[in-house]
Every structure is written in C-alpha cells, then in structure tokens.
Amino acid sequence: MKLAMIGTGYVGLVSGVCFSDFGHAVTCVDKQAAKITALDAGQVPIYEPGLDDLLARNVAAGRLSFTLDLAAALKGADAVFIGVGTPTRRGDGHADLTYVYAAAREIAHAMDGYTVVVTKSTVPVGTNREVARIIAEEVPGAQFDVVSNPEFLREGAAIEDFMRPDRIVVGVESERAQEVMAEIYRPLSLREAPIVWTGLESAEMIKYAANAFLATKITFINEIAALCEKTGADVQAVAKGMGMDGRIGNKFLHAGPGYGGSCFPKDTSALARIGQEHAAPQRIVETVIAVNEATKRAMVDKVLDLCGDSVAGQKVAVLGVTFKPNTDDMRDAPALTIVPALIGRGARVHVVDPQGQREGAALLPGVVWDDDPYEAARDAAAVVLLTEWNEFRGLDLARLAGVMATPRLADLRNVFSPEAAREAGFAYVSVGRPAA
C-alpha cells in the first residue's frame, strides 16, 4: 500500500515508521522545513526507544521518506492519515481541532483519485463527520471515505504497542474503506491482533473512554494512598490485593504524584467538555481532573513537611522531571507543578533527568541541570525522586546520603523500601506507605 502521514510529531512519526516496517510505502509530511531536513538526516525529534533504528532501517529500504509537499505524498496514495496535534484549547478545555481541519482542507485539494482519509489524532465525537463535510465542501464530487483509527500508544513503549496491540479500533462506514484498512493492517492479522470494526462516533468515544478510565485508576489509587497514610495501611499491599482480582487488574494502580503526559490531561479535559456540551455531565471524569491537580500540590506539602516546612535557601535535588521514564515528554508532568513551587519557597533546585533537559530547560527556568545524581545531591537538604528512570532505581542510597548536607529523601514513586532508606541514614517519606 502507498500511505501518507500528515504530522511528524509523536503519533504521526511513530505510526508512519511502523507502517513502513509493515512493508508499506510511507511518506511523512510536515510543514516545518527544519523537521523534514532533520528527519532526512536520520535525526529523530522525539525520544522513543528504538525509533531511530527503525526509522533508519526503513529509510534505507526505500519504504520511508519525508517531504513538505502534500500533493506529492498523496499522488497515488491509497490512504492518508491525519496525525497532527489536538492540544487543549485555551479557555474552555476542549480539544483544539485547528490542525485537523486545516489538514482536511489541504487533503481535499491534494487527493489523487479515491483516497481513504484516516484520522489518527485523538478527536472529539463528531470530528470525523466534520472532516468529511469539509472535504466535500472544498472539492464537490471528491472520491473519498473518512475513517476513525485512534492510536493507543504508550510513550516509552510505542513501537511494541503498535506492533503487538491489544486491539485496533477502526470506525468505518463503507465496504471499500474497510477493505483498504484491512489490507493496511493485514501484517498484524498474522499475529492475530483483534480489529474492532465500528462506526465513526463509537471509535472516537472508545479512545476518550479508555484514557479516562486509566486516568481514573491512577487517581483512585492516589486517593487510597492518602487514606493509607492516615490509617497505617500500605498502598502497595492494597494495590496488589486489588490487582489480583481479574475484574480490576494490576495495571495503573501505582501510587505517585499524579498523571501527566500528552494524553490523559487533555483527553480527560476534552471528555468532560464533550459531556457538558451534550448535557451528559461526566462527573467522575471531572472529579478525576480536580483530584489529580490536588495530588500534585499535595506532593509539595510532603516535601516541605520532610524539610521542617522550609526549603528557603537550601539546595534540593530533583531526580526525574519527564512525566514518565523512557520519554522526553514534559507535557503536564507533575514536575511542572512541584519544581516551581519549591523554587517559589526559596529552594535552589538541581535537576537530573536522562532526557528531560531538551524540553525542560525552557519549562523550568531557574533550575540547575546536572548529569550525575550524586553530584546533584551534594550538600543538598533533600532529594526528591519524581520520575522512576532505571538510572535512579539502582542508586547507592548510603553513598547518596553521605554526600548530602541533610539526608532526606522524598520518594514520590515508591521506588525504595522505607527500611532500606532508613538503614542508609535517610529521613524518608513515600506515597501511601507507613514510615519504617
């Protein structure tokens, strides 16, 4: 198949590269010349484990290319995927569909015969019908079908998720378009990946409902963690006991400083807004959003309590600022709430993150970036573990405590046991667990 992918951000680039690895001829399109030049040179603009090697392999095989020219990419294409951003719109919390609709207009004038127009971006219910309306209005008589094919990629594990998905969701309304989509995903049928064929609205809703449910699981266990701290229970034991129930499952039951990233914050916000617009308020989702923000702020209080309620003039080392490990994504990361709050209280914050500085340098003004956690902790009054990178899981706690002015550790990901931290000499707090 010949495919075009509009957008070389996270969704578009990962999807385009993986489709090319299926054996399809894929052309990725972007408006930013610098981005296309970098990709042509093999430079990947995002950090995703394994993506650079996969990209290079498929470029070398002649299956993957990059261009600024949409018309050239669409010449003879069987399908074009819209993989542009849908950020939260300022003011009302809705998804900003500016880029999606702009892509639809450009596709209308660039299509070369019958084309399946596939929306990969996360979009509110009704968006695909509007995409179809826009194309038909721009070019009356155009031959096309619109398909909703939302992505379910975890940052840090996106290639594995694409190649071995739990399911593929395809919202489609014509047999011809369904045949095209079946052929595009045929390589996965050999792995028996299930395809959920549904209508446009259902496909759009599946994406939002899935992300909102996962965000709810995270927020639920964080509220339980706060209760565990008051009652002497251990949230890790509670989560284990819950997760062994097959109806619940153990994923997304890890207490911490709240969810962030490119999906959960904007998708829960958009779903709440969709509910309001359709007079079907999503009360649970609205509460999840509020509780998640409160959880982030509560982490600041936890650090301050550990430090005797004051960090003024003191050095604080923060380990990890990306919203999760194995990504450079800083969008809505808990660090964006916690670190500025510590600086606002007078702390001198030193940060270590394997991939976070590229985005974090602009988002966290006033911090000092270090490469080594022990150097960042030297003469510090506290260490705050915010992102559970593997580099931090293996820290020598005794060595870390030994270089600090006051050995205090706020382990906001429950990486270490309270007993091990105490034995190393730390005053220690974690999330939802009793003191050692």
Model confidence over 334-369: pLDDT tens digits?
999 999 999 999 999 999 999 999 999 999 999 999
Q: What percent of the chain has pLDDT over 90?
A: 96
**Tokens 């018309």, residue?**
71
> In this model, does residue 302 exceed pLDDT 80?
yes
Q: Tens digit of pLDDT for each residue in 371-413? A: 999 999 999 999 999 999 999 999 999 999 999 999 999 999 9
Q: Tens digit of pLDDT for each residue in 22-56? A: 999 999 999 999 999 999 999 999 999 999 999 99
Fold matches, 2-198 and 199-436: yes
* 18 catalytic per annotation: no
Q: Tens digit of pLDDT for each residue in 146-178? A: 999 999 999 999 999 999 999 999 999 999 999
In one letter, which amino acid is 221?
A: I
Confidence label for 189 from pLDDT (cuts 50, 70 and 90): confident
In one letter, which amino acid is 182?
A: A
CA distances from residue 76 to 1, 36, 48, 112 in whole angstroms, order as listed: 10, 21, 31, 6
Q: Tens digit of pLDDT for each residue in 227-274? A: 999 999 999 999 999 999 999 999 999 999 999 998 999 999 999 999
> In this model, does residue 7 exceed pLDDT 80?
yes
> In this model, does residue 436 exceed pLDDT 80?
no
pLDDT of residue 435: 72
Strands annotated E in 48-202: 64-67, 79-82, 115-119, 144-148, 168-171, 195-198
pLDDT of residue 304: 97
The strand pairing partners of 66, in sequence order, are 28
* Burial status of residue 180 (CB atoms within 10 A of its CB: 0-12, 13-18, 19 or more): buried
pLDDT, averaged across the chain: 96
The answer for 126, left when phi > 0, alpha when psi is -120 to 50, beta otherwise, is left
pLDDT of residue 192: 86
- Check if CATH label 3.40.50.720 holds for domain 2-198: yes
**Cα–Cα distance measured from residue 345 to residue 307, given in angstroms and rounded to the nearest whole number:** 12
Q: What are phi and psi of 100, to 5 degrees?
A: -65, -50
Which residues, at least 6 apart from 269, have a Cβ–Cβ distance to it below 8 Å? 88, 93, 94, 289
> In this model, does residue 281 exceed pLDDT 90?
yes
Cβ 321 vs Cβ 254: under 8 Å: no
- Pick the catalytic residue from 18, 28, 228, 263: 263
Q: Tens digit of pLDDT for each residue in 83-139? A: 999 998 887 888 999 999 999 999 999 999 999 999 999 999 999 999 999 999 999
pLDDT of residue 93: 82
Q: Where are the domains of the chain?
A: 2-198, 199-436
Cβ 58 vs Cβ 25: under 8 Å: no
**Cα–Cα distance measured from residue 317 to residue 177, given in angstroms and rounded to the nearest whole number:** 54
CB atoms within 10 A of CB 227: 12
**Looking at the domain 199-436, which fold is it?**
Rossmann fold (3.40.50)
